[in-house]
Amino acid sequence: MVGLIRRDDMTREEFVHWWLEEHTPLARSLPGVERIRFNVLDADAPFDGIAELWFASAEAADAAYASDIGKAVTADSLAHVKSRVRMLADEREVLG
């Protein structure tokens, strides 16, 4: 998961447009990504958005972000956010 806080000079609408319309195609091209979910959060949340990306393993995620496209995805994020927090999780479904 990646928690994103938009740049101070971006409106919420500009952030959402960039993230869903411009950044999404880059994220979809990450090598080995199996599933992606972008969550736009309420204005009072600590992040503007949480991206969930599924890979077969932590090593597969690391390899994806070490690739040229992974570096481009990261650079695009860093150009549009003031904070980007990457969090690895061991998903435990409790109801599904």
- The arithmetic mean of pLDDT across residues 24-42, rounded, is 97
Task: Provide Rg for the chain, Cα atoms.
Answer: 13
2-86 has which CATH code? Answer: 3.30.70.100
* 58-66 vs 68-80: helix crossing angle, rounded to 10: 80
For residues 15-27, one letter each, b for 16 or more C-beta atoms within 10 angstroms of the residue's C-beta and e for the rest, the string is bbebbeeebeebb
pLDDT digits (tens, 9 = 90+) for 56-95: 999 999 999 999 999 999 999 999 999 999 998 888 999 9
- The arithmetic mean of pLDDT across residues 19-44, rounded, is 97
Where do the structural domains in the chain lie, given as residue ranges?
2-86
Cα dihedral 86, 84, 70, 15 in deg (nearest 10): 130
